[in-house]
A and B are shown apart, each in its own frame.
Chain A
Amino acid sequence: MSSSLVNQIRALARRSTLKTLRQPFQLFPIIFFPVILLAVNASGLKAVVNLPGFPTDSYISFAIAVAFIQGAMFSLINTGTNLAEDIENGFFNRLALTPLRRVSLIAGLLVGVAILGAMQSAVYMLIGLIAGAHLDAGFGGVIVVLILGSLTAVAFGAIGCAAALRTGSGEAVQGLFPLFFMFIFLSSSNLPRNLLTTGWFHTVATWNPVSYLIEAFRSLYIFGWDGAALVRGFAVAFGILGLALIAVDRTMRTRMQRT
């Protein structure tokens, strides 16, 4: 009796989604943390729209992009923590004792993350809409935001998986949060790169891949369809995902030594 790859992935994706949706303490920060930060930034920094060269007169439309990245960072923590808990409590071994393929385990988790990533992106868009953010790219932009939000969540979720497989510790995974959050602050999250006048900060933001993810979301809100920004954003998301999957593959071989 052999289980098909698709059935295995579907079963694990369902479990991954249910597990997160049934933990309000995981959902709460995903929804509220980015919204609170957005509210704080929007009230404190709204005057920057008056700077010469600022690309829009709506700071909410400019800043909403950061929420999608923050949500993806939470995917890293939640996915990694959930997998680490499975390792710690032996659930991982339960799965390893079935005909489950290694690729199904990670794919199942990440499909669950993709679904949740799309859901959280929809929530951020809705909150942005209520707060007055305007999505210049229209309905097509909604679809792209959902796809890019989902992909970004998967990319960061894969980093969480690699960390969980490497350490087997939920606490260690959670310790990554401040580190990854630094990437947001050292990016073009609060100002466009052309207005970052401090030399070192401009350099760091230019090399920081998170800047390009933010700018891809932002382009859809402010400029409509900016092909170059979208290509850079998707390339960064796929690049992070690719590197994370290589790390997942290596750590999985150590963690799951079954014959």
Chain B
Amino acid sequence: MSGERHDGENGIEVRGLVRDFKGGVRAVDGIDLSVAPGEIYGFLGPNGAGKSTTVLVLTTLLPPTSGTATVAGLDVARQGPEVRRAIGASLQESALDPFLTGREHMRLQASLHGIDRAETDRRGTELLARVGLTNAADRKVGGYSGGMKRRLDLALALVHGPRLLFLDEPTTGLDPQSRAALWEEVRRLAGEGVTVFLTTQYLEEADVLADRVGIIDKGKIVAEGTPAELKAAIGRPSVEAIPQDPGDTARLREVLHRFGEEAAASPKGVAARLPEGVGDLAEIVRAIDAEGIPIADLRLHTPTLDDVFLAKTGRSLEGGADEDSEAEEQAGDEVPAQA
């Protein structure tokens, strides 16, 4: 975990953050994290891990039970109004009024931020164009698709020109095209110097989009670093071969052992870890061919963030978190609107 301090105006610093709810539920359990200005920070974890509660605290919607957090150099517990002026947020759901149009949403949001009418119209038009909603701007939001709602949500979060942007599971439920479009927009914002704090339960999203990733489980950060660092820390890639004839399994194992120690494999396969990386792959194929062993399947397995999560928690991130979701859902009963 990074111990650097970022005193820049766009960073986030969290030390020992705790958030308890009624009934002794501890949704966030003493987390430390630092986000550098202009960075895309991916906060990855299963449902109920504490991601949304952390976002609610960092966006001032929930006071912390203990610990400190500064956002844009401002204390979230003591400088709530200032923090809210500095940040934009798109929370877990597309929180929109189905009876208002996209343009009316922009006007309402801008009015509440104290932006005058002329500037509101200029920014509204610009942002709606930026997120590709110019043609739908005067339609009621109730008729928007999920992707359109998410894009409008993002535009609303940007209306006052925030220095930091919080995106809580921004692509949940979106189709691949809408997801890719949103990723592109997030990258563009980061390129413009906006710090992005992004929660997600999608491994691919964190891997592809985030400069650094924090993995949270049961309210604690279990790993933090760049995706490459995290994956490298848990081991080298492995290769798995499945013989056409199960009788060749022993000979295949012997061939693979020349290249590295045995690794976990499927019931019909044999696998070896590759200490020299994927560079050995061509040589492995030649060696198997030289032994005359017919192969049904050959797979290269590189570590994923799910492997990182598995290594740190003993559970898989994908589909293995339902039992933990209960704590944060219970906590949500006490949270103002959503957690």
Which of B87, B91, B113 has the most chain A CB atoms closer than 10 A to its own CB?
B113
Q: Is the CB of A90 within 8 A of B337?
A: yes
Size category of the A interface is 35 or more
Interface residues of B in 78-126 (CB under 8 A from A): 78-81, 83-85, 87, 89, 91-97, 99-100, 104, 107-109, 111-115
Chain B hits for A168, CB < 8 A:
337
Given A93-B336, A98-B84, A98-B109, A4–B114 Cβ distance below 8 Å?
Answer: yes
Contacts of B96 in A (CB 8 A): 89, 91
A197 contacts the other chain (CB 8 A): no
Residues of chain A with a CB closer than 8 A to B337's CB: 87-88, 90, 92-93, 96, 168, 255
Asked if residues A99 and B81 are in contact (CB atoms below 8 Å), the reply is yes
A87 to B336, CA, bound (A): 8
Contacting pair B104 A18 (CB below 8 A): yes
Judge whether A90 and B95 touch: CB under 8 Å: yes
Answer whether residue B300 sits at the interface, using C-beta atoms and an 8 A cutoff.
no
Q: A91 and B112: CB pair below 8 A?
A: no
A-side interface mostly? helix
B-chain residues with CB within 8 Å of residue A194 when the two chains form the complex: none
Answer whether residue A37 sits at the interface, using C-beta atoms and an 8 A cutoff. no
Partner among A7, A18, A94 whose Cβ is within 8 Å of the Cβ of B99: A18
CB distance from B122 to the nearest CB of A (A): 15
Query: Which B residues are CB-close (under 8 A) to A92?
Result: 95, 336-337
Point out the residue from A10, A15, A96 that lies within 8 Å of B61, measured CB to CB: A96
Give chain A nearest CB distance to B76 CB in angstroms.
Answer: 6
A7 cross-chain contacts in B, Cβ below 8 A: 111, 114
- Do residues A93 and B109 form an inter-chain contact, with CB atoms below 8 A? no
Q: Does B338 belong to the interface (CB within 8 Å)?
A: yes
A50 at the interface (CB under 8 A from B): no
Please tell me if the beta carbons of B60 and A3 are within 8 angstroms of each other in the complex: no
B62, CB-defined interface residue at 8 Å: yes
Residues of B contacting A18 with CB < 8 Å?
99-100, 104
Q: Is A3 within 8 A of B140, CB to CB?
A: no
Judged by a CB distance under 8 angstroms, whether A126 is at the interface is no
Q: Which of A11, A19, A94, A257 contacts B107 (CB 8 A)?
A: A11
Q: Which residues of B contact A93 (CB under 8 A)?
A: 61, 91, 95, 336-338
| Docked CA distance A92–B112 (Å) | 13
The answer to whether B113 touches A96 (Cβ under 8 A) is: no
Report B-chain residues with C-beta under 8 Å of the C-beta of A14.
Answer: 108
A1 at the interface (CB under 8 A from B): yes
Confirm or deny: B40 has a beta carbon within 8 angstroms of a beta carbon on chain A.
no
A129 adjacent to chain B (CB < 8 Å): no
B160 within 8 A of A: yes
State in angstroms the CA–CA spacing of A101 and B8 once bound together.
29
Find out whether the CB atom of B112 lies under 8 angstroms from the CB atom of A3.
yes
Cβ of A256 within 8 Å of any chain B Cβ, yes or no, is yes
CA–CA, A11 to B107, complex, Å?
Answer: 8
Contacts of A19 in B (CB 8 A): 97, 99-100
**By the criterion CB–CB under 8 Å, are A97 and B85 in contact?**
no
A107 to chain B, nearest CB (A): 13
Chain B residue numbers with a CB within 8 Å of A23 are 99
Most buried by B among A3, A22, A91, A94: A94
Q: Which A1-58 residues sit within 8 Å CB-CB of chain B?
A: 1-4, 7-8, 10-12, 14-15, 18-19, 22-23
In the assembled complex, the CB of B184 is this many whole angstroms from the nearest CB of chain A, namely 24
8 Å CB contact of A97 from B59, B78, B92, B114: B59
Instruction: Decide if B336 touches A257 in the complex (CB within 8 Å).
Output: yes
Q: Is the CB of A257 within 8 A of B92?
A: no
B215 contacts chain A at the CB level, 8 A cutoff: no
* Alpha-carbon gap, A89 to B149, bound state (A): 13
A66 → chain B closest CB, angstroms: 30
For this complex, 7 residue pairs linking A to B, each with C-beta atoms less than 8 Å apart, are A14-B108, A18-B100, A19-B97, A90-B338, A91-B97, A99-B114, A259-B79
Question: When A and B form their complex, which 3 residue pairs have the shortest distance between CB atoms, in order from nearest?
Answer: A3-B114, A90-B95, A259-B80
